[in-house]
Amino acid sequence: MNDIFEAHDWDAAGRIGRLSVPRAGVTVETPTIMPVVNPHIQTIPPRELAERFGAQILITNSYILHGSDDLREDALEKGLHDLLDFPGAIMTDSGSFQLSEYGEIDVTSAEILDFQREIGSDIATPVDIPTAPDTEREAVEIELGTTQERLDAAAEFSSGKMLVSAPVQGSTYTDLRESAGEHAAETGLDVFPVGAVVPLMNDYRYGEMIDVVMAAKRGLGPAAPVHLFGAGHPMMFALAVAAGCDLFDSAAYAIYARDGRYLTVRGTEHLEELEYFPCSCPVCAEHTPAGVEASDERERLLSEHNLYVTFAEIRRIKAAIREGNLLELVETRARGHPAMLDGYRALLAHSEQLERTDPASKSTFFYLSGESARRPEVLRHHRRLERLSVPDSLLLADGSVDGIEADEVWTVRPPFGPVPPELSETYPVNAELPDRLDGEAYALAARGVARLAEANPDCEVTLVAGWPEVALAALPEHTNCILIS
């Protein structure tokens, strides 16, 4: 696993990585989107996906190829790359989607893996069982057991150049997702899709989706390349990347175009309701909504726009990781939809997990809302407070103070709390803050004061702060902490 994937830039749990795909002889930079290509219907030819849009990897369905009288022999004779005419890496799905939709398929996991090997798939997938959200736990455990048996058996297919994925199932039970991640990692397989999350995304249950992903990540460990199955809407990429997902796939760009739907990073618009295009991609720069609506090429033009906006968001996310402001981008996207805000809040509930891979220093911390107070940087600073050396008496003040004696004077800055002089110009306490802070920032600062006082019971701590009463009330009573508001 570590031999094929290397991460070299981090922000929260997001990273820029390199996935080596030996059979294709290419290295794929992640995070990235794998456009889904239907072998029967290609609105945009695969080679064009590579040459015009920069796709380094795509995904197609080996089960459809296997069951097609027209394409099966061609795939076996020519190989998948020649059949699709694609120069990058090709991942193949196994028919698990059809299994979840129709209840049965007519091949075994071993048969479809062997077929994927024969047609030249670069990353193959066994037949796992995608258990729907909210399924009874007993049924989930049974189906998860079957999936894990198939993953164990799939290990023999990854002995050559072909990579094999190990889907992580478990429905909405986070403990099962975590244990499934541990089992998948132990198989020695190569790429780790988090499966059966499409129903959560379709129902805008982004908070639960994040809980599922974070649980799977705990089991897999930080070194595993993670694929979020069926995730293709650009509005949620930044959130999923910050949670540690590296690969995305979806036919959304084509399916939405077929229905006259226009993707944006804030959601989906219906073409017929648009008077202006809020985008400057080649399609939007050269056409009007009315012109595209009336065109015989409507589906293709919309597909092209949807791909442009999709790949642009991937590039934007990579830039944010390099610049150290991925969480600011996530927060911007979260403000576009209430369900996305649920997802962001769920992500920050896992700040302790995020903090393990979040860099200790990066670009300026921008405080944008109460959610910003729960970022991993604040958690890290609070932990640092317990290790700082303090004098016998300490004055904490959010402004200039006269007439109070103390051995040392530290600033106190929401949401971080106490800041010694030697750290005042360092990341993250040199954050850009609005003049009108919310109660959450003050409450977290008060928690920082309490943490410092608890760690140093022999130090007399005096706090001088004109904070809201609700924040001051959150400060526990300490015999060594004097409050002057």
459 among the known binding-site residues?
no
Q: How many CB atoms lie within 10 A of CB 78?
A: 15
Rounded Cα gap, residues 247 and 253, in angstroms: 16
Options 93, 190, 246, 358, the catalytic residue:
93
Q: Are 456 and 440 in contact (CB under 8 A)?
A: no
> What does the alpha-carbon distance between residue 424 and residue 431 come to, in Å, rounded to a whole number?
10
Q: CB of 187 within 8 A of CB of 151?
A: yes
Catalytic: 152?
Answer: no
- Annotated binding residue at 128? yes
d(CA 289, CA 302): 10
Buried b (16+ CB within 10 A) or exposed e, 363-378: eebebbbbbbbbbbbb
Measured distance between the N- and C-terminal CA atoms of the chain, rounded to whole angstroms: 56
- The secondary structure element, H or E, covering residue 269 is strand 267-270
Q: How many other β-carbons are positioned within 10 Å of the β-carbon of residue 319? A: 13
Residue 454's contacts (CB-CB under 8 Å, 6 or more residues apart) are 478
For helices 298-323 and 326-334, angle between their N-to-C axes, nearest 10 degrees: 140
Q: Is 281 labelled as part of a ligand binding site?
A: yes
**CA–CA distance, 219 with 173 (Å, rounded to integer):** 13
Residue ranges for the known binding site for substrate are: 128, 196
Active-site residue list: 93
Residue ranges for the known binding site are: 128, 196, 279, 281, 284
